């Protein structure tokens, strides 16, 4: 790509390659359960038990709203997810994991973690922290969220 070590093109290429390889590995782990990586992203987001508006799930899973609706329909059919009207804003729909969905997420999470451990992907959060910092620097909305999570500065 570039003759200059550490060039922006190298960063982009490395991140893209890592994402593709990680997605391929994850897809292989999830294939036995006939789940896609997109479905896995949705299950992981909903695993916090909070219930999330469909618009938030769409953004976090990097899926257009129509695609997300079809995917969530499939997860509902498999009794992994359910939807409810938001009690505070009846115009919004929130998605939640079912009891079965929580069990399946926990089981699959163990398999995914084991698969990543096989190739030495660190279980600590240092890499995640670095990526979150990069995202916060690149995305104004993430920067705002990151600052709010960090609390007031002194």
Lowest mean pLDDT among 27-41, 57-71, 72-86, 125-139: 125-139
Nearest-angstrom CA–CA distance, 154 and 142: 21
Packing angle between helix 8-31 and helix 37-46, nearest 10 degrees? 90
Top-ranked range on mean pLDDT: pick from 10-14, 101-105, 132-136: 101-105
Beta bridge partners of 84: 94
The predicted model scores a pTM of: 0.80
| End-to-end Cα distance, the chain | 42
Interacting residues of 91 by C-beta distance below 8 A, sequence separation 6+: none
pLDDT confidence of residue 127: 82
Q: Which residue would you say has higher pLDDT here, 102 or 123? A: 102
Q: Is the pLDDT of residue 74 over 70?
A: yes
Q: Is the pLDDT of residue 36 over 90?
A: yes
Beta bridge partners of 95: 52, 83
Packing angle between helix 140-150 and helix 126-138, nearest 10 degrees? 120
Q: Which residues of 115-134 are buried (b: 16+ CB within 10 A; e: fewer)?
A: ebeeeeeeeeeeeeeeeeee
pLDDT band at 77 (very low <50, low <70, confident <90, very high): very high
pLDDT confidence of residue 58: 95
Q: Please, is 83 exposed, middle or buried when counting C-beta atoms within 10 Å of its C-beta (0-12, 13-18, 19+)?
A: middle
pLDDT band at 1 (very low <50, low <70, confident <90, very high): very low
């Amino acid at each position: 790509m570039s003759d200059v070590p550490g060039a922006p093109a190298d960063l982009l290429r490395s991140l893209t390659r890592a994402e593709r390889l990680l997605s391929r590995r994850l897809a292989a782990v999830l294939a036995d359960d006939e789940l896609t990586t997109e479905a896995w992203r949705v299950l992981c987001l909903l695993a916090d038990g909070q219930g999330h508006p469909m618009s938030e799930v769409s953004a976090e899973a990097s899926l257009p709203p129509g695609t997300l609706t079809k995917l969530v329909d499939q997860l509902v059919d498999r009794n992994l997810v359910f939807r409810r009207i938001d009690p505070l804003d009846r115009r919004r729909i929130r998605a939640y994991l079912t009891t079965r969905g929580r069990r399946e997420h926990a089981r699959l999470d163990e398999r995914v973690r084991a698969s990543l451990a096989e190739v030495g992907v660190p279980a600590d959060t240092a890499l995640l922290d670095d990526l979150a910092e990069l995202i916060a620097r690149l995305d104004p909305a993430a920067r705002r969220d990151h600052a709010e999570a960090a609390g007031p500065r002194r």
